[in-house]
Chains A and B, each alone.
Chain A
C-alpha cells in the first residue's frame, strides 16, 4: 500500500491561499465597509488591465522606463565593478572609503533625487541617474567582498608572472569574481528598477511610475491597481531571470 500522501502539499496551499485572497478581496469590494472604489472588484481590475495592455500609451511609457533602467543599470554595473576592484585591490583605499560607502549604501537613495534633478533636469536622465546611484552600491560591495575572498595563491601567481595591472584585472581578478559580481548585479538591478520607478512617481511626465501616480491623482483606482500588478510582475520576472543567470 502506498504511504498516505499528505493532504496539504505546498502547491495546494498556494492555490487555496490565492483563492482565499481573491474571495476576501471580492468580499471586501462588495461589503461597503470601505469608501466606494477603494477596493474595486477584480473584474474591474482585469478589464482595466486588458485595456491598458491594448493601448499604445502603455507601451510608450514602458519603453521610457526600460530605457532609464537600462542606462542606469549599465552605469551602475560598470562603475560599481571598477570601484569595487579598486577598493578591493588597494587595501588602504578600501579602509579609508569603506565607512562612506556603507553609510550611503544604507541610506534611502530616493532622497538623492533632488540632487539628480538639479544636475540632469527633471527629465528621464535624472531617473536613470537615480537608478544608477541605487544600483551602484550592491555591485561595489559585492565586488569588493569578492576581492577580499579571492585566493591569495592566484594573486601571487599573477605577480610572479609580472603581470601588468591591466593583465591582473583581466586574467586574475575578473575570472574569479564572476559569481560575486553577478550576484551584486542581481541585487543592483532590483534597486535600480525601484530607484527609476520612484523617481518617476515623484516628479516626471513619462514612464510607468508616472502613469501609476497619474491614475491615483485622477482616482482611476482599477487602472492604478492593474498597472501596479504589471509593474510588480515585471520586477519579479526580471529578478527571477537574474537569479537564474547568477545560478542561485
Chain B
C-alpha cells in the first residue's frame, strides 16, 4: 500500500468512527450522558478556549513536564555516571532500579503530598522521580556498552579523563542515553497529567477532573482528546528529533 493510500485509509477509518459514534448516540442506542456525540464535542471547544483557557492549561502541563524532565535528566545523568564509574554501586543498585522502573512509583504521590502539600511541587516531584529512573538506567547502560577498543584508542592518544568522557564516552553512548531521555520525558508527562487529575491541580489533568465533577461531558471528552493529542505530539516530536540528530 502506498503512503498516500494508507493516509487516506486512516482518515476514512477516523471519519467512519466519528459518524458511527454520532449515529450511536443520535439513534438513541447510547445515552449522550455517557458518550458525547462528536458534534457536541466540537461545539464545546470554543467554550473551552474562552472560559477554561485551554491553551494555558496545555502550557502549564507542558511546563511542569519540562521542569520535571530537566531535573530528572540532571539527576539521571549524574547518578548514571556515578554508577558507571563506581562499579560496585552500579552492580548493587541496578536490580533495584529495574524493580523501581517496573513498580507503580506513581502510587507514592501521597508521600509527596504529605511533604509538599497540594502544590505544583508535588506534581513536578512525581514527574522527577518517575522520569529519572529510566534516565539513570539508560545512562549507565549506554556508558557500559562503549567498546573497550574506543577507550584504548583514546588512552593511546593520551587523552585526559575529561577529554575521554567528552570525545569518546558520551558520543559513543549517545543513542542509548537519548532513549533514556525519551523514556524519561514520556514517563514524566504521563505522571504529571495523572497526578494533576488525582489532586485536582495544575493543567490538563485537573481540567478533565473539574469538567467531570461539573458534568460537562462533551467538554470533558474534548480535553481528553487534547491530552491524547499532546502526548502524540510529544512522542512523535521526540522520534523526529532523534532521527534528525542521528543523521546529522
Residue A226 at the B interface, CB < 8 A? Answer: no
A82-113 contacts to B, CB under 8 A, are 91-92, 95-97, 99-100, 102-104, 106-108, 110-113
Within 8 A of B (CB), among A191-248: 193-194, 197-198, 201-202, 209, 212-213, 216, 221, 224-225, 228, 231-232, 235-236, 239-240
CB of A134 to closest CB in B, whole Å: 11
> Quick one: CB contact mask for A35-50 with B, threshold 8 Å, 1 for yes?
0001000000000000
- Inter-chain contact A106/B198, CB cutoff 8 Å: no
**A10 sits at the interface (CB 8 A):** yes
Chain A residues positioned under 8 Å from B114 (CB to CB): 38, 216, 221, 224
Question: A-facing mask of B177-208, CB < 8 A → 1, else 0?
Answer: 00000000010011101100110000011001
Whether B232 is near chain A, meaning CB under 8 Å from some CB there, is yes
CB pair A235–B103 under 8 Å, yes or no, is yes
Interface of B is mostly: helix
Q: Is A111 touching B193 in the complex (CB atoms < 8 A)?
A: yes
State A91–B5 Cα separation when bound (angstroms): 13
Decide yes or no whether A114 CB sits under 8 A from chain B.
yes
Chain A residue at smallest Cβ distance from B233: A103
Complex alpha-carbon distance, A211 and B102, angstroms: 23
* Contact of A198 with B224 in the complex, beta carbons under 8 Å: no
Contact between A228 and B103, CB atoms less than 8 A apart = no
> Which residues of B from 96 to 111 have beta carbons under 8 Å from A?
96, 99, 102-104, 106-108, 110-111
**Contacting pair B34 A10 (CB below 8 A):** no
Q: Which of B44-52, B84-92, B142-150, B165-173 contacts A (4 or more CB under 8 A)?
A: B84-92
Among residues of A, the one whose C-beta sits closest to the C-beta of B100 is A236
B198 contacts A198, C-beta separation under 8 Å? yes
How far is the CB of B130 from the nearest CB of chain A, in Å? 11
Known: A10-B92, A228-B107, A231-B107. A104 touches B228 (CB 8 A): yes
Q: Are A118 and B104 in contact (CB under 8 A)?
A: no
Complex Cα distance, B87 from A10, in Å, reads 9
Contact with B along A1-37 (1 / 0, CB 8 A): 0000010111101100100000000000000001000
Q: At the interface, yes or no: A157 with Cβ under 8 Å from chain B? A: no
CB distance from B122 to the nearest CB of A (A): 12
Given A92-B1, A95-B9, A103-B231, the answer on whether A111 and B224 have CB atoms closer than 8 Å is yes
Assuming the A-B contacts A95-B9, A96-B9, A221-B114, are A107 and B106 also in contact, with contact meaning beta carbons closer than 8 angstroms in the complex?
no
User: B227 near A: Cβ within 8 Å?
Assistant: yes
Q: Does B103 lie within 8 Å of A10, measured CB to CB?
A: no
Annotate B93-135 by CB proximity to A: 1 below 8 A, 0 otherwise.
Answer: 1001001001110111011011100000000000000000000
Q: Mark B25-45, 1 if CB is under 8 A from A, else 0.
A: 000000001110000000000
A216 x B104 contact (CB < 8 A): no
Neighbouring B residues of A117 by C-beta, 8 Å: 212
B111–A107 touching, CB < 8 Å: no
The answer to whether A108 and B191 touch (CB under 8 A), given A103-B232, A212-B110, A221-B114, is: yes
CA distance A115 to B31 in the complex (A): 12
Question: Restricting to A55-75, which residues have a CB under 8 Å from any CB of B?
Answer: none
Chain A nearest CB from B76 CB (Å) reads: 18
Task: Answer whether residue B6 sits at the interface, using C-beta atoms and an 8 A cutoff.
Answer: yes
CB <8 Å contact, A232 and B103? yes
A232 in contact with B107 given A103-B232, A114-B212 (CB within 8 Å): yes
**Chain A hits for B9, CB < 8 A:** 92, 95-96
Nearest-CB distance from B86 to chain A (Å)?
Answer: 8
3 smallest beta-carbon distances between A and B, as pairs: A13-B92, A114-B212, A8-B88
Can you list 11 A-B contacts with CB-CB less than 8 angstroms, sorted by A residue number?
A: A96-B9, A103-B231, A106-B190, A190-B104, A198-B194, A202-B197, A228-B111, A231-B104, A235-B104, A239-B102, A239-B103
